[in-house]
Chains A and B, each alone.
Chain A
Amino acid sequence: EDKVVQSPLSLVVHEGDTVTLNCSYEVTNFRSLLWYKQEKKAPTFLFMLTSSGIEKKSGRLSSILDKKELFSILNITATQTGDSAIYLCAVMNRDDKIIFGKGTRLHILP
């Protein structure tokens, strides 16, 4: 059965710290991996990764995929209280199914 596992489930850090969120997967016919940030309601799209080893960056956020070891990490540097959210990882397969992990709840203390 396809699955996506995120760790840690929750994380509390101080403003200014750097965090690394993990996502591992077992999915047949992998197509791409996606990261979303969910604050109050709808998840908002962060990154889509399809190739191994190519880092995607957006401001203080970056992500990379390892298709050999079947995992991805999401890094956030110089965290701010506005980064507090649930971070969701999802994997899309070639049958167009999207499987979500349970998310990492990140809380940034001022």
Chain B
Amino acid sequence: KAGVTQTPRYLIKTRGQQVTLSCSPISGHRSVSWYQQTPGQGLQFLFEYFSETQRNKGNFPGRFSGRQFSNSRSEMNVSTLELGDSALYLCASRLSEYNEQFFGPGTRLTVL
């Protein structure tokens, strides 16, 4: 069974631009969560989608948004990029709320 995949793996953008990251969960997993990881703050929860509905949301500004498609693939969008948005963005999927999450390899975003 293929694991969680994320594209692209690396991105370089400039301040003010917007970016879209993509995540394909493990086949059969309907829940997809997004995290931002930085050296100073650790792993911070952005949001979770389940069956195309946002189920939970972390404490991030409205510039961070996401969606999930009917095939469970998810996208995360960050608009008006700031330098502080430079981070590793991890996506994780799980079968249900009773199961552990499996992480993708991440997208490393650098904002110049």
Write the residues of chain A forming the contact surface with B, with a CB cutoff of 8 angstroms.
Answer: 31-32, 34, 36, 41-45, 48, 88, 90, 92, 95-103
Q: A42-B90, A43-B90 are in contact. Are A99 and B45 (CB under 8 A)?
A: yes
Please determine whether B43 and A45 come into contact, CB atoms closer than 8 angstroms.
no
Please determine whether A97 and B100 come into contact, CB atoms closer than 8 angstroms.
no
Q: How far is the CB of A9 from chain B (nearest CB, A)?
A: 10
What is the bound-complex CA distance between A103 and B38, given in angstroms?
Answer: 12
What is the bound-complex CA distance between A48 and B4, given in angstroms?
Answer: 19
Contacts of A96 in B (CB 8 A): 48, 50, 55-56, 97
Q: Give the interface size bracket for B toward A.
A: 20 to 34
Q: A98-B33, A100-B45, A103-B42 are in contact. Are A48 and B100 (CB under 8 A)?
A: yes
B102, CB-defined interface residue at 8 Å: yes
Binds A, one of B12-20, B63-71, B79-87, B103-111: B103-111
Please determine whether A41 and B33 come into contact, CB atoms closer than 8 angstroms.
no
B51, CB-defined interface residue at 8 Å: no
Q: A96-B48, A96-B97, A98-B33 are in contact. Are A41 and B42 (CB under 8 A)?
A: no
Cβ 8 A contact of A42, one of B33, B55, B106: B106
